[in-house]
Structure 1
Amino acid sequence: MANPRHRVGTKGPAIGRYERGVAKPTIEVAGKLAKILGISLDYLVGNSDQELDDNTLKRILEVQRLPEDIKEKVYYFIDISIKDYKTRQAYS
């Protein structure tokens, strides 16, 4: 994997300053960092404690584009799967 500093386009020890909280990246740099790390910008800046991996996020975005009747079927299947998992965990 390429050095994040090169992938983001920063110069010098900027990444270290970001990590130490001495400096704050621009929104463009923060967006690039989030993409490189495979996390949301909200998670990166602490606005969310929910981290969605790229595969989950892609699936959620695909579901959002579906017609309402299909979305309801997807939600139903998800709900049933979650209930089944929780039931199995309770009896394990």
Structure 2
Amino acid sequence: MESGKIIATLRDSKNWSQTDLANNSNVSRVMIGKYERGEAIPSIDAAKKIADAFEVSLDYLVGVGQNARFDKKTVQRLQDIEALSPTIKDKLFFLIDTVIRDRNAQKAYMQ
């Protein structure tokens, strides 16, 4: 997905108008419209401001890179987990694996 479509999708998910995004990002409404229509590509500075307004990474905003599927909160959580001791990480991963296994089992029985 190109960045203009991603911007429009994120904006819609927050129920923001282009003016709301402009106010939250300090990027002009006219330029936001051009980005969404594919008439212009955001500069790095503009993309960073827009990503910050949406609380997503630049990777997420442009749809490429290692963190393209994660918002900033998720990336921060992953970084925080990585900093934990191996023992605590093992316990946390056990809990995560258990929740995922249970969810998958529930889905299987619902079909």
Which region of structure 1 is more displaced relative to structure 2, 29-38 or 40-49? 40-49
Aligned to 1:3: 20
TM-score by length of 2: 0.66
Task: Confirm or deny: 8 A CA contact 2:62 2:68 kept in the other structure.
Answer: no
Aligned to 1:78: 96
Q: CA deviation at 1:35?
A: 2.0
Aligned to 2:50: 33
Quick one: distance in 2 between partners of 1:3 and 1:33? 11
CA RMSD of aligned residues (A): 2.5
Quick one: distance in 2 between partners of 1:68 and 1:27? 37
Quick one: distance in 1 between partners of 2:101 and 2:29? 51
Q: 2:41 is matched with which residue: 17, 24, 29?
A: 24
Quick one: distance in 2 between partners of 1:8 and 1:80? 40
Structure 1: tracts of 5 or more residues without a match? none
The structure with more helix, counted as a fraction of residues: 2
Q: Give aligned pairs, total.
A: 92
When residues 91 and 50 of structure 1 are mapped into structure 2, their CA distance, relative to the original with a 3 A threshold, is farther
Write out per-residue CA displacement over residues 9-35 of structure 1, whole angstroms, 9 at most, x where no aligned residue: 234611111111111112122112112
When residues 78 and 56 of structure 1 are mapped into structure 2, their CA distance, relative to the original with a 3 A threshold, is same
Quick one: distance in 2 between partners of 1:68 and 1:28? 38
> What is the aligned-residue identity percentage?
35
Give the number of the structure with larger relative contact order, counting CA–CA contacts within 8 Å between residues 6 or more apart: 2
Structure 2: tracts of 5 or more residues without a match? 1-15
Task: Confirm or deny: 8 A CA contact 1:39 1:51 kept in the other structure.
Answer: no
Task: Confirm or deny: 8 A CA contact 1:8 1:32 kept in the other structure.
Answer: yes
Paired amino acid for 1:26:
S
